[in-house]
A and B are shown apart, each in its own frame.
Chain A
Amino acid sequence: MRFSKMARRGGLVDHSRQRLVLVASVLALVASMVTLPVAEGTSGATSFKGSITIASVAPFTGADAALGPKYETACYAAAQAINASGGVMSKQVKCKTVDTRGDPADAVPAVRQMYATTSNLVLVIGCTSDEAATVVPIFGAHKTVSFCMTGQSEFDAVHYPYFFRLVPPDAADSVAMVQIAKRHSFKNIALAFGNDAGSQTFVAPAEAAIKAAGMNVVSNQTLDMTASTFQTEAQAIVQSHPDAILMEALGAAGVALLSEIYQLNGNKMIPTIGTSAMIDPVFFSGVTSGPIGTQNFISAFDADNQTVNASGPAYPLYHKLVLQQAGKVKGVPSFPGLLSANGTVHLYDGINLAALAMDMAKSTSGSKYKADVIKIAEGVKGAVNVSSYAVGLRDLKAGKKIHYIGVGGSYQFDSYQTAFGPFEDDQFLANGTTVAVGGTLGFCSLTVCKSTP
């Protein structure tokens, strides 16, 4: 109110001085924001000298807000078990989230701010297609090991020494989806993929794999993720009479498309094969609360997924830990639904791998322990199999070599440090969890699925 009164008075008089004061105070405010991290000292909350931090760098807000909580859950779950065993080199593990807002330009200052405000950062997890391209080089420059979830083909083509991918690129997902279609003897396939960066990477490999398998693409719809209805696309798909639809469309768009296909198809769902990202509790609740309904949906929907060793030795502990995080992590409608989400599964394993590697290298510095990540994941000659941090730590202390076999099985890395593991065919249960059906799909590369890697 003071300002408007000043403006109305005629003449300059003290205007310039008042303006100067105003500008100075505003600049002081800006300067104080910038010095905040220094004043704040180390990472905000309770930071004791004996702790290390793992950061989930991912979208927690925006269109892909469903992704961040998956990774955060993995961190809390793994950290809980690690801390129960005394931590890494006697240091407790803390989890931190860094919201990239799904914007690669925004992600850069976010990551820089993370480094400025986090002491003892030892590992980064998450980094999806939304931001990986801009932040992975920064992680490399800081020599921070990163376990990323991005499926971008850039990372099959360029070497980043500190970048690890525990999930194969999207091209392998496509091949796995086609494998599922092959199993059901589907011949005519419709494609429906969102036009966002993460979804378009599936199309070309899918088309190639379909052709190689002797099947036909009868319709290829690219979905504008900002549109609200997809009647024309749905109609086009229905009219092409496909045996199955391969799709990835996250968010409201995927739900809308499936509902419209259902209706236009005479209230019947066409068999749909989704990517592993569609194993998502938010998506599940969205589709099943629409006109399709739970029963119709789960009986016609499959998703490819990297193998979750549900019957393996690592699973029971993992299961227990994830469910215990309910209430700690926001933005997850159903925790059981996360159990087979590949972000949660593989990053849980990744954290265990990194922690064990740190113990093995006796250092939390990325340059020192990254080689051991590979050794523990692939298992050197004479290594004993372990499937939990506690057991692995015990064996390391006893001087043994270890081979970590996690919830996602054993990880073999290629030259770009991407692990190609076996795939499975998942179906939803009524409560939103998934279960593998029909036996393993095999090891799927960028072009074909084989029974051995």
Chain B
Amino acid sequence: MSVFLSSLGFGLISAAVLAIATVGFTMQFAVTNVLNLAYGSVMINSAFVTYYLNYHAHLNAWVAMIGGVLTGAIASYLLNRFIFTPFQRRNLPPITIVIVALGVDLVGTFGLQAIVGGSYFSYKQSLGRELHFWGMYLSTLQLIIIGICVVVMGLIHWLLKYTRLGKAMRATSANASLARNSGIRTQRVISSTWLISGALCGLAGTVFAMNTGVFVATSAQLYIVLLLAAMFLGGPGSAYGAMLGALTIGVATEVSAGYFNPEYKEVIAFVVLLGMLTFRPYGLFGSEKTI
């Protein structure tokens, strides 16, 4: 039982980081219909900005975090404005955009590596005490991250359900041409979505780096697999599905690591992803029409 509980604890923090990332990722897919495989590179660049502001500019950790969030927002917005949208206008098959995204991921990740080099960067910050409660082991920092995640999820929920922008986003993702014909300024909606999801991306990258404690330019390269697994589990394009998918994947990988060989813990995520793609690519709760 203790193995399960401690793994559950690790699963929660893993899920928290994953949830923030997946919601952003799935929002981008929802309004633009693009699998943004360059997401990881934006994450890691934002993480570095935060680290740099914190350590070299000696700014307070929270202020530095805001820097990371802004980096993510701006980078994602620019990415959509200057890469995805122009390519999409050319009416190419969706796979072309995915390949372009892979190219951008290479440029983003290895451009960063060219600048900062291959050595690694550690967070020295006092992570606070390791707390042991309900059989789980979590540090103060991790609890803060989980808290941030809950708050952010709440904000997204409020955004989608109660604001005009949120409703416009949902309409645009369901049927863009219909939304446009109904008077929704879809261009504006799309830009706003990329800014918001980009902010989530930046935040995700930052907390990812803080949680792992030590990272390099290529640390987030394989994170995309977990993102995809979480997104497809909950249904591509669905923010609530993303939250649920992230929780499931986060907990499942850590719990399986607790009981089986931890080297293989991400195998569960892969198997889930492949299973979903085979049997229900529209997610557990979606239906064929949504994609």
Contacts and interface: CB of A to CB of B under 8 A. Distances in A.
B126 interface: yes
Contact of A291 (B6, B124, B266): B124
Given A233-B262, A252-B219, A289-B122, A263 B127 contact: yes
Interface string A23-64: 000000000000000000000000000000000000001100
Given A286-B122, A291-B127, A232 B7 contact: yes
Interface string A269-297: 00000000000001000110111010000
Interface string B207-243: 0100111111001001100000000000000000000
Nearest to B13: A231
Interface string B231-265: 00000000000000000000000100110011101
Contacts of A223: 263
Contacts of A251: 120, 216
Nearest to A254: B214
A119 interface: no
B10 interface: yes
A259 B214 contact: yes
Interface residues of A, number: 37
A247 B34 CA distance: 43
A80 B258 CA distance: 54
Given A228-B208, A291-B124, A256 B214 contact: yes
Contacts of A282: 119-120
Given A231-B10, A232-B265, A267 B214 contact: no
A173 B180 CA distance: 69
A232 B130 CA distance: 15
A382 interface: no
A424 B115 CA distance: 39
A266 B130 contact: yes
A116 B27 CA distance: 54
Contact of A252 (B3, B208, B216, B265): B216
A226 B123 CA distance: 19
Contacts, number: 95
Nearest to A225: B263
A235 B137 CA distance: 9
A360 to B, nearest CB: 41
A117 interface: no
Interface string A229-271: 1111101100100000000000110011001100110110000
Given A61-B118, A256-B213, A230 B124 contact: no
A130 to B, nearest CB: 15
B124 A289 contact: yes
Q: From A226, A263, A266, A333, name the one whose CB has the most chain B CB atoms within 10 angstroms.
A: A263
Given A259-B213, A289-B124, A226 B222 contact: yes
B262 A236 contact: yes
Given A223-B263, A252-B215, A252-B216, A290 B122 contact: yes
A161 B28 CA distance: 60
Nearest to A235: B6
21 contacts: A224-B262, A224-B266, A226-B222, A228-B212, A229-B10, A231-B254, A232-B7, A232-B257, A232-B262, A235-B7, A239-B3, A251-B216, A252-B214, A252-B215, A255-B120, A255-B214, A259-B213, A259-B214, A286-B214, A291-B123, A291-B126
Interface of A: 61-62, 65, 195, 221-224, 226-233, 235-236, 239, 251-252, 255-256, 259-260, 263-264, 266-267, 282, 286-287, 289-291, 293, 333
Interface of B: 2-3, 6-7, 10, 13-14, 118-120, 122-127, 129-130, 137, 139, 208, 211-216, 219, 222-223, 254, 257-258, 261-263, 265-266
